[in-house]
Chain A
Amino acid sequence: AQSVSQHNHHVILSEAASLELGCNYSYGGTVNLFWYVQYPGQHLQLLLKYFSGDPLVKGIKGFEAEFIKSKFSFNLRKPSVQWSDTAEYFCAVRGAGNMLTFGGGTRLMVKP
């Protein structure tokens, strides 16, 4: 069975700080990897995804993530966060069965 682990449950940053959220998964086969964001009171929105090819993927709103196969990781990064990035971030893996397995989420708070 596949599983996803997000190491940081809560992150507090000041505006303009750099962000890196960790995501590790466990699954032996080919995976699709996703990062979703959930703003307060809203539904999930896709930030970026990796299926194949260049392991460094760029998403919306200045986010990027790097797939490192040897480390089973797919960390999310942003060089300079804004107050509007305050949200909860979910890493997800799709392997066997096509369903998504989500990590526990990281709640990010950006102080203005």
Chain B
Amino acid sequence: GAVVSQHPSWVICKSGTSVKIECRSLDFQATTMFWYRQFPKQSLMLMATSNEGSKATYEQGVEKDKFLINHASLTLSTLTVTSAHPEDSSFYICGPLMGGAGNTEAFFGQGTRLTVV
């Protein structure tokens, strides 16, 4: 299967600081990247969808100025949580979509557990 690397796997930051999460597709090109968030004891919720070289599309209720997504290349996308607050503490997961593929398995990064103190 395809290899997806998400970094860091966990991070603790102070309230008001920014955190950058990287997601790399190591052996395929991801034309589309999905970013999900999972709060404790809840399901994964789609935050945003980005296509390489384009602005991301955010789901309702997700602040685009707070969660900055960059998808500058086919193998790397980043999610930056700006001015993080404790309520942003969550598990963030990237899901790159293999380019040119029809029915394919969905791939995920290992996830990043963010704790804002």
Contacts and interface: CB of A to CB of B under 8 A. Distances in A.
B43 A103 contact: yes
Interface stretch (A13-21, A60-68, A73-81, A94-102): A94-102
Interface residues of B, number: 19
Interface residues of A, number: 20
B34 A99 contact: yes
Interface string A26-68: 0000001010000000011010010110000000000000000
A36 B60 CA distance: 25
Given A32-B103, A46-B105, A102 B93 contact: no
Most chain B CB atoms below 10 A, which of A49, A52, A97, A99: A99
Nearest to B1: A46
B25 interface: no
Nearest to B57: A97
Query: Does more than half of chain A's interface fall in helix, strand or loop, or is it mixed?
Result: strand
B110 A90 contact: no
B95 A100 contact: yes
17 contacts: A43-B111, A44-B44, A44-B111, A90-B43, A92-B106, A98-B32, A98-B97, A99-B34, A99-B46, A99-B95, A100-B34, A100-B46, A100-B106, A101-B46, A102-B43, A102-B45, A104-B43
Interface of B: 32, 34, 36, 42-46, 49, 93, 95, 97, 103, 105-106, 108-111
Given A46-B105, A100-B106, 6 more contacts: A43-B93, A43-B108, A43-B111, A100-B34, A102-B36, A103-B43
